[in-house]
Amino acid sequence: MKKRLLTALISCSAIVLAGTAMAADTIKIGFNIPMTGDIPKVGEASKFSAEMLKEDINGAGGLEVGGKKYMLEFIYEDNEAKAESAVTTALKLIEKDEVLAMIGPNSSKQAVPAGQVANDNETVMVTPWSTNPDTTLDRPWVFRAAFLDPFQGPVAVNFAVKTFNAKTSAVLYDLENDYSKGLAEIFKNVFEEKMGAGSVVAFESHGTKDQDFSAQLTKIVAANPDFIFLPDNYNQVALIVKQAHQQGFKGQFMGSDAWGSSELMTLCGDDCKGLYFSTHYAAAGATGATKEFIDRYTEKYGYTPDDVAALTWDATRIVLKAVQDTGGLSGKLRKDRKAVREAMAAIPSFDGITGGMKFDEQGDPIKCAVVVKISNEGTFEFAESVCPE
Q: Which residues bind other proteins (CB under 8 A)?
A: 35-37, 40-41, 44, 175, 204-207, 209, 211-212, 214-216, 218-219, 221-223, 235, 238-239, 242, 245-248, 263, 266-267, 269
| Count of C-beta atoms within a 10 Å radius of residue 34 | 28
**Closest to other proteins by CB, 206 or 341:** 206
Contacts of residue 210, Cβ cutoff 8 Å, sequence gap at least 6 = 236
Q: CA angle at residue 192 from 234 to 219, to 5 degrees?
A: 55
Among residues 178 and 204, whose Cβ is nearest to other proteins?
A: 204
Burial of residue 95, with CB atoms counted within 10 A of its CB: 0-12 exposed, 13-18 middle, 19 or more buried = exposed
299 contacts: CB under 8 Å, gap ≥ 6:
none
Would you say 55 or 270 has its CB closer to other proteins?
Answer: 270
The residue among 238 and 294 lying less far from other proteins, judged by its C-beta, is 238
Least spacing, CB of residue 171 vs other proteins, in Å: 11
Q: How far is the CB of 264 from other proteins (least distance, A)?
A: 11
| Beta carbon of residue 178, minimum distance to other proteins (angstroms, whole number) | 14
CB 5 to other proteins: min, Å: 45
Torsion of CA 117, 122, 126, 127, to 10 degrees: 10
Toward other proteins, which CB reaches closer, 235 or 316?
235
Tell the smallest beta-carbon distance from residue 242 to other proteins (Å): 7
Task: Report the nearest approach of other proteins to the CB of residue 176 (Å).
Answer: 10
State which residue, 184 or 371, has the beta carbon closest to other proteins.
184
Task: Return the number of the residue (41 or 139) whose C-beta is nearest other proteins.
Answer: 41
Q: How many CB atoms lie within 10 A of CB 18?
A: 10
Report residue 5: phi and psi, to 5°. Answer: -60, -40
Sign of the alpha-carbon dihedral angle for 177, 180, 181, 183: positive
Angle at 319 between CA 318 and CA 325, to 5 degrees: 90
Shortest separation between residue 199's beta carbon and other proteins, angstroms: 16
Report the candidate in 103, 46, 33, 31 with the shortest Cα–Cα distance to residue 261: 46
Contacts of 197 (CB under 8 A, 6+ apart): none
